[in-house]
Structure 1
Amino acid sequence: MSNRHDARRHTMVEDVAIPKHLLTTAKFNSPWELKKWEKSLPQNDRVEFQPQEGQKQGGISRSVSLSALRGPRRPAAIRPRSNPPELHVWDEFSKRRRLTPPIEEKEPITPIRESAVHPSPPLSSNSSVNHHSRQSSMHDVYEKAKLRGVALQRKHWVRVLFEVSVYVLLVLFIYFVLVGMPLWKGAVWWLYWVVSHKFTITGGWAILLGLAFLYAFCPLLILFEKDPPPATEYDHTDLEKNDSSAKNTALLIPCYKSAQIIGPTLEAALKVFPAENIFVIANGNSQTPLDNTEEVCRPFGVNHLWVPVGSKIVAQFAGCYAAKGFENVLLIDDDCALPPNFPVVSDRLKGQVKCLGYTIKSVGPGSSKGTYCQQAQDLEYKMSGIQRAFFGMLGSATFPHGAISLWNTEFLKQTFHEHPGYSVSEDWFFGDACRRLGGRVTMCTSVFVETETPSSVFFAGGGSRGGFGEMTIFQQRFKRWNFFFVIGMYYDMKYILTSWKLGWWEIGAKLCVFQEVYETLIYLFAPFYFPISFVVSPSFSGILLGATIGMYIVNVVLFNEYHLRKKNERIDWKVLIFYYTVYKIVLTLINVFSCYWSLFKYARYFAKRHPKIIEDQEAIGVVLSLERDVESPTIPEEGEHAVTARPPQRADSQRAYKRLTLTRVEAPIGLDITTTQTHTTTQSYRSVI
């Protein structure tokens, strides 16, 4: 082994061969996983152990890098006192190789789970030991994520076999269960027989109407909160309280190709938050930014991060660590415009309340009312807001609106341990993780936060929306929002039957969660029950269907004329009567078809295993770079925008260097920005993933 200094070496025993007994510290689930992991390593990271002449090779196999296998070390208090077989092998091996024993760390490494949940506080000039401990902890998380990533990988033929197997099972289910003939008459025929001979149409419609009535009209028993005073009319006490809450809160704005729409979002945000509290987290699967979002952000003096992983949830994960030191974080979409009198109600995050949602409103370009479709979405969003507020008062809402939510920072980090890591419907799973961890989701309904929505149902009608370019309701909901409707029933029932961490609040929370199960079952059974009902009793079923539609019309009229009138947010009658009803019927059909489409698409989606965020090597690599480099920033010279440290040269050409940039710049002199600008610098980091 060469004694030449190499920047790749992290410890004195980097390439020491490891006895076979000690490979168990990597915690492989099977020999197959061990072999697969060994094959995935670059050849230059392995060191062949050459036994001395006459020495037996039993117990010593081809070894790998110690740093790659190093798992989280247990604190001394819970470390086993002795392990004679392994210690004996290690002692003998050390004597034969004549190596210095590993350097003993002065402080135990924080366990993996705790390191991501409770990061160390910011470093001071005398905290080098804590800095080393935190880096070691995050490095352990990263190493574990690498192992987990290998264990979750499936070969191509396994994924194909999984996908084909699911398709075959679906076909067999349709034939043997639903159709059945000639083996038996099938479930559909027996459902027809039950409906026609047991007179269940009346009872079925009664249950349907009863539950629909309760879920539709009970939320109307509460009112929206009073409007906060305009920003210019805040009294000194309220203004000071809101400013204090804003200073303790980081505003995280994950975005994707948002250069065209991020400007107005920042203009509105700077009226509420200081520039140093705002973090624009652009992301995409590229080492370099996909557009000029950073240039757009530069005049505002806000923080900008480029995360080279195309995932909204990874961007939020990185933002939580970039915004360290803030007690709370507010997550908003890149097209949300905060009102000037936006209340930062972080004082409500106490006890079991760990997340707060805000009511939102749909707008067109330039905060206009937009098309009839956007106005219908406006009514839909506001009704959803009061429903969530009602269930939040009873126990907990299912989840906050994905466009905006306020979290306790440390609790939000804990949710990443429970979040399954899905890149679709990620906002819904945040609410599920919050409730399973014992946190309540409540709402603030004093303001409506504007967000631009698709302008049409099926055909794109233009607009300024960025991101994925979801310019139609069909694309937005059929392919994304509704994708986990069916699989969501599993998580909902699991929560209803197994989670009891909210105490008495669980009653209201479970009622809210059951509503989702009830709606999904209606979508799944609608193609069977409704046609059979109309075949058996067409007149009776037609009357009840009309009564159901009429009930919902009465519901929205009451909501519009009383609740929204008090907030001066009424919807035009033409939209309410002539468009909204047809709009909801079309959306119901979309929801039904999307459930069956998702059942078909699950085969391909789940053929590939999806790691949690804390098991994602790339996501942890981004956070690790912040944990490691944020304490030693690179200051740009005059005239430079960002300085990126040159990465160390590695012989392993298979590992890519992915760039994480944290930019904090000063707004140009003379530009009218509604915030006090401070002297700032630009920092750039490069992490090896």
Structure 2
Amino acid sequence: MLQVAGLIAATLDSAIKIFPPSHIFVVANGNSPTPLDNTEEVCAPYSVNHIWSPIGCKLVAQFVGCYAAKEFKDILMIDDDCKLPPNFPVVGDRLTGNVKSIGYTIKSTGPNSSLGTLCQQAQDLEYKISGLQRLFAGAIGSATFPRGAISLWDREFLASVFYGHPGFSVSEDWFFGDSCRKLGGRIKMCSSVFVETETPDAIFKSSGSERGGFGEMTLFKQRFMRWNFFFVNGMWYNMAYIFRNWSLGWWELGAKLFVFQEAYETLLYLLAPFVLPVAALIRPQFLGILTGVTIAIYLVNVIIFNEIHLRLKRERVTYKMPYKMILAFINIVSCYWSIFKYARYFAKRHLKVAEDEKAVEVILRLEEEIDDNAELDKRLSDACLQGRRMTVTALSTRTSVTSKGRGQSIMSTGKTRGMSIGTHSFPRNGPEIIGSHQPQHFSGPRPSVQFVDSPFNPASAHGSLKTPAWSDINWGHNAV
């Protein structure tokens, strides 16, 4: 546990070079009234906000973090094993009109930003190609969903998204996208940087390295047990979206194209065990030609992407074709495994996170200790330098909170942590500086934030949290 908690230090090292520490929230969580590891001790030297949530669920942790950072207009959610590059762009100015979320292209790495194993390098190519596809989808309509590792959201809209999210604890990022699009929010991508995220180091048997987040050590467990679980069930959601939703106007045409692609891909996985053996028996030559053409088209796509786009970005990767074949087999088998498991999974009712009494109570408990506005205003006078400690020790007792400031958000995933950072949006000249926490990086006064408590009301319009008032924010004019 102690070793895993230390993984977040590298993430914090990169985050405080971009955001003031008081703008960063670390939401650790687990099914325990008290913290399960030393995450808080690791966070203490950085003066960031640390929150312990006694519910071991990434979705609940994100919900808590969204509320904890409620004086911010925008929020950046990231996992605890992501490392932000020094030139990371906070593109809050792109959250305009019906664009409510910005995903970032990501890259796969090994420990300490290394290339990692052959499996990790293969995932690197996969992630980068997927990022380009999502970039195109966002340009002509909407990406289906932003990667769960890192995404930027309009905070108030994100609060509404939680009310549309079905509350499933797996594939939660996919359902964020589905809920976002149904509410009329577009998802676009930022491809100017590749954000590092550590991935499983082997397909079936791990070498035993440590990872954050859910901590899957193998690609098989990551995809088979969690990522692919809703492949088949997702067809229902995708077809319902295609025929029933028109919230994006003309942008729906581009969005539906990629939603249909997801449904069609799943259908191919389901038909493969039947079609391929029959085709091999009846027309083996035709099957061979079709397979060869498919592989050739994929290779041409990879070569163009790798040798032109990635080479210009100095992100060129090696080719790992056998990995792609093994992954296709895992996807096929996981579809049938999930169908077998659905009966047991759906036998239990899954509440939406905003309807979960325990999740709502965590938020109410956090609010209890920050209801003295005058005292809080005094504490916020040094907001750029200090964070807070907020610990919900138990859902049946009063929250224990020691306040020292107010800030950004970094949220937890699973039994350890993830990260999510909330940011201010600047209405004048786009996103002005969100720079290092050192005061000399700001020209002009520090941001003055007035926090006004408002009770959490699940029955509020559109299921969104009541947005509190905040004072004008005067930042310097340094560009991000």
TM-score by length of 2: 0.79
Q: Counterpart of 2:333? A: 593
User: What one-letter code is carried by the residue in structure 1 that aligns with 2:437?
Assistant: T
Q: Counterpart of 1:282? A: 28
**1:615 positional shift:** 0.7
Q: Counterpart of 1:316? A: 62
Q: Counterpart of 1:676? A: 438
**Higher Cα radius of gyration:** 1
Residue in structure 2 matching 1:481, options 227, 240, 243: 227
Larger helix fraction of residues: 1
Q: Counterpart of 1:369? A: 115
Residue in structure 2 matching 1:615, options 313, 335, 355: 355
Q: Counterpart of 2:176? A: 430
Q: Counterpart of 2:453? A: none
1:462–1:645: structure 2 CA closer, same or farther, 3 Å change rule?
A: closer
User: What one-letter code is carried by the residue in structure 2 that aligns with 1:484?
Assistant: F
User: Secondary structure at the residue paired with 2:51?
Assistant: strand
Residue in structure 1 matching 2:241, options 495, 514, 537: 495
Q: Counterpart of 2:86? A: 340
Between the aligned partners of 2:399 and 2:68, the Cα distance in structure 1 is: 15
Q: Counterpart of 1:128? A: none
Runs of 4+ in 1 over 6 A off after TM superposition: 633-636, 641-647
1:600–1:274: structure 2 CA closer, same or farther, 3 Å change rule?
A: same
User: What one-letter code is carried by the residue in structure 2 that aligns with 1:436?
Assistant: K
**1:304 positional shift:** 0.3
**1:466 positional shift:** 2.5
Between the aligned partners of 1:616 and 1:316, the Cα distance in structure 2 is: 14
User: Secondary structure at the residue paired with 1:657?
Assistant: coil
1:309–1:379: structure 2 CA closer, same or farther, 3 Å change rule?
A: same
1:293–1:545: structure 2 CA closer, same or farther, 3 Å change rule?
A: same
1:470 and 2:210 are equivalent in the alignment: no
User: What one-letter code is carried by the residue in structure 1 that aligns with 2:223?
Assistant: R
Q: Counterpart of 1:5? A: none
Q: Counterpart of 1:380? A: 126
- Consecutive unaligned residues in structure 2, runs of 5 or more: 380-387, 407-434, 440-445, 447-480
Between the aligned partners of 1:304 and 1:662, the Cα distance in structure 2 is: 10
1:531 and 2:277 are equivalent in the alignment: yes
**1:566 positional shift:** 1.1
User: Secondary structure at the residue paired with 2:296?
Assistant: helix
Between the aligned partners of 1:256 and 1:489, the Cα distance in structure 2 is: 40
**1:506 positional shift:** 0.3
User: What one-letter code is carried by the residue in structure 2 that aligns with 1:312?
Assistant: K
Q: Counterpart of 1:606? A: 346
User: What one-letter code is carried by the residue in structure 2 that aligns with 1:275?
Assistant: P
Q: Which has the higher contact order (CA 8 A, sep 6+)?
A: 2
Between the aligned partners of 1:605 and 1:553, the Cα distance in structure 2 is: 38
**1:418 positional shift:** 0.3
Between the aligned partners of 1:374 and 1:279, the Cα distance in structure 2 is: 29
Residue in structure 1 matching 2:370, options 630, 647, 655: 630
Structure 1, residues 175-194: CA drift from partner, whole Å, max 9, x if none?
xxxxxxxxxxxxxxxxxxxx
User: Secondary structure at the residue paired with 1:287?
Assistant: coil
Q: Counterpart of 1:509? A: 255
Structure 1, residues 159-204: CA drift from partner, whole Å, max 9, x if none?
xxxxxxxxxxxxxxxxxxxxxxxxxxxxxxxxxxxxxxxxxxxxxx
Is 1:454–1:473's contact at 8 Å kept on the other side of the alignment?
Answer: yes
- Consecutive unaligned residues in structure 1, runs of 5 or more: 1-254, 648-654, 667-672, 679-689
Structure 1, residues 570-601: CA drift from partner, whole Å, max 9, x if none?
013xxx1xxx1110100000000000000011
1:485–1:661: structure 2 CA closer, same or farther, 3 Å change rule?
A: farther
Q: Counterpart of 1:263? A: 9
Is 2:22–2:48's contact at 8 Å kept on the other side of the alignment?
Answer: yes
1:519 and 2:281 are equivalent in the alignment: no
Between the aligned partners of 2:332 and 2:368, the Cα distance in structure 1 is: 49
**Higher mean C-alpha deviation, range 488-497 or range 543-552:** 543-552
Between the aligned partners of 1:330 and 1:665, the Cα distance in structure 2 is: 19
Between the aligned partners of 2:83 and 2:362, the Cα distance in structure 1 is: 28
**1:257 positional shift:** 8.6
Q: Counterpart of 1:559? A: 305
Q: How many residues are paired up? A: 401
1:355–1:436: structure 2 CA closer, same or farther, 3 Å change rule?
A: same
| 1:139-288 map, 5 Å | 258-288=4-34
Q: Counterpart of 2:477? A: none
User: What one-letter code is carried by the residue in structure 2 that aligns with 1:617?
Assistant: E
1:378–1:628: structure 2 CA closer, same or farther, 3 Å change rule?
A: same
Is 1:287–1:658's contact at 8 Å kept on the other side of the alignment?
Answer: no
1:661–1:335: structure 2 CA closer, same or farther, 3 Å change rule?
A: farther
**1:462 positional shift:** 2.8
**1:628 positional shift:** 3.1
1:645–1:428: structure 2 CA closer, same or farther, 3 Å change rule?
A: closer
Residue in structure 2 matching 1:395, options 141, 146, 160: 141
User: Secondary structure at the residue paired with 1:503?
Assistant: coil
**1:645 positional shift:** 11
Give the % identical residues.
Answer: 60
**1:258 positional shift:** 4.6
User: What one-letter code is carried by the residue in structure 2 that aligns with 1:622?
Assistant: V
**1:392 positional shift:** 0.3
Structure 1, residues 40-67: CA drift from partner, whole Å, max 9, x if none?
xxxxxxxxxxxxxxxxxxxxxxxxxxxx
